Structures are given as C-alpha cells and as structure tokens.
Amino acid sequence: MKIVVFGANGPTGRQLVRQATTEGHAVTAVTRRPEAFPPGGPLLRVVGADVHDPVAVKEAVAEQDAVVSVLGVPFGRKPVTVYSAGLTHITRAMAGHGVARLACVTSTSLSDEESPGEGLFFRKVLEPFIVRYVGRTVYEDMRRSEEIVRDSDCEWTIVRPAGLFDAPAVSAYRMAAGPRLPGRFTSRSDLADALLRQVVDGLDPRAVVEVRTVEGTPGFIDILRKEAMGGKDR
Ligand SMILES: NC(=O)c1ccc[n+]([C@@H]2O[C@H](COP(=O)([O-])OP(=O)(O)OC[C@H]3O[C@@H](n4cnc5c(N)ncnc54)[C@H](OP(=O)(O)O)[C@@H]3O)[C@@H](O)[C@H]2O)c1
C-alpha cells in the first residue's frame, strides 16, 4: 500500500513510518525538515512540505492509497492552525486525487463523555485546566480539525489517544469506537500501530476511536515531567 504520513518527523510519526515500511508499505514521510529525517531504506520517500501550503500538500498526496496525519504542535499562547489548516488541505487534496482513506490523530481530551474509572480530580480539575488554559489553542484547533474531517467525503477515522508516552514495542493495546475506554495513557508505538491498522485493514470508517495502552503504563507525574521538559524519545 502507498501511505503518506503528515507529521512523520514527530515521535509517533517516526514509529509509524518504521512500522509501515517494515510491513512492506511504500511510505511518503512529510516534514518541514527533510534533512532531519532518519534514513529508512528503499520503501521510504521523504518530502519537505508545510501543511499550510496547499500546493505542497496536494503534491504529497498524489498517487497515494491512504493518508495518515500525526501532525502536532506543543502547547503555547500563540494561535494554532496546524490541525485545521492541515486537515483542510489534506482532505481537499484527497478529494482532488480520489484518495479515500484517512486516519488522523486528535485526543481523548476532546470527548464530552466521562471515561470509566476516571477520578473526580482528573475530570473536574486537571483535564479542564489543561484543555481550557495550558493547551487551549491546541485543543480548539484540534476540535476544528475534527469538524473538517467529519464534513469531508473521505473514509475517515479520527483516532484519539490519551496521554502519550514512549515504549519500546507495540503492546496488546485496546482500540474501540465507543463507549469510552478506561485508562490515561497511550504509548506512541501503540498509537502508530492503531493508525496503521485503521488504514491498512480498513477498520472503523467514519468513526471516532480511542486507543489505550493497558500494560507498562507510566506514573502520571513521570509523564508530566517528561513531556513538559520535551524529553521525548525518538
Ligand atoms: N503528548 C500527549 O500526551 C498527547 C496526547 C493526546 C494527543 N496528542 C497528539 O498526538 C499527536 C502526535 O504527537 P507526537 O508527540 O508524536 O508528535 P508532535 O511532537 O506533536 O509532532 C508532530 C510533528 O508535526 C509536524 N508539524 C508541525 N507543524 C507542521 C506544519 N506546519 N507542517 C508540517 N508538519 C508539521 C512536526 O514535524 P516537522 O517539524 O519535522 O515538520 C512535528 O514533529 C499530536 O497531534 C498530539 O497533539 C498528544
């Protein structure tokens, strides 16, 4: 299968590219910094593009069978447009080239429903504080991107992970289109596999799915410290 990955140079994107080429898929990895992308063998093509550039996005999507978006930006005060502009240009490019299958990442924090076993402090204090203050501009744009994807004619799947952490291998994770799953963490390896399974195996079209890692999850404080300090493993 020919798969184009936007956000390929992020920690989840790099795992996804590795997993996909190992499975024998031909991958187009899109990044603004192609010179910084690690070598990946004959099945890998690295393309330099900013998703705010519709022409560059359209070129990257040409002749592909499926699209995965793991685009992301850190929390900050500046307005964020990468998710909404990215998914606008990606879905238009897909329509223009007749490419149907799309899987894209947002976050479980966009869910309006309570997840099983969720503590009151997390649900009522910590998560709202992150969504409404610390990460407000990111979550607002993620939400816009979900609307753009739902309104598109693509065979889309929105994949929502919980708090991300790095793990050495894919585990026996859970993925479901609802009701909500318990747990607070998703490893980037599991998220990458979930996205790949969605587009390669044609699971859950036109659905929002959650992904949760159930074994080897870290402590909450460890994660906060590591992500806040930008210490992601690549
Ligand atoms: N951290 C968490 O706990 C958490 C929880 C739930 C969901 N998520 C979401 O999960 C996804 C994956 O996260 P991650 O940590 O693996 O990746 P990430 O660090 O958010 O990076 C994704 C990549 O997107 C690319 N990108 C950003 N702006 C771009 C632009 N204008 N044009 C093209 N590419 C652009 C960047 O690559 P280049 O600089 O090379 O272009 C970056 O490496 C993100 O959407 C994130 O928001 C994260």
Q: Which CATH number is 109's domain given?
A: 3.40.50.720
84 part of a folded domain: yes
In this structure, the chain runs to a length of: 234
166 burial via Cβ count (<10 Å: 0-12, 13-18, 19+)? middle
Q: Residue 70: which residues within 8 A CB-CB, separation 6 or more?
A: 5, 6, 7, 8, 10, 12, 13, 16, 104, 105, 191, 192, 195
Looking at residue 197, its pLDDT comes to 98
91 part of a folded domain: yes
Ligand 1 atom with the smallest distance to the CA of 10 is 43
218 part of a folded domain: yes
Count the Cβ atoms, other than its own, within 10 Å of residue 121: 9
Domain membership of residue 95 as a residue range: 2-228
Per-residue model confidence as pLDDT tens digits over 6-37: 999 999 999 999 999 999 999 999 999 999 99
220 part of a folded domain: yes
Looking at residue 226, its pLDDT comes to 67
Ligand 1 atom with the smallest distance to the CA of 12 is 16
Ligand 1 centre and the CA of 223: distance in Å?
A: 17
233 part of a folded domain: no
Nearest to 16 by CA among 170, 158, 157: 170
128 part of a folded domain: yes
C-beta 70 within 6 A of ligand 1: yes
Residue 232 clears pLDDT 60, i.e. is over it: no
When divided into structural domains, the chain yields a total of: 1
Given pLDDT bands bounded at 50, 70 and 90, which one contains residue 178? confident
112 part of a folded domain: yes
Give the mean model confidence (pLDDT) for residues 158-185. 95
234 part of a folded domain: no
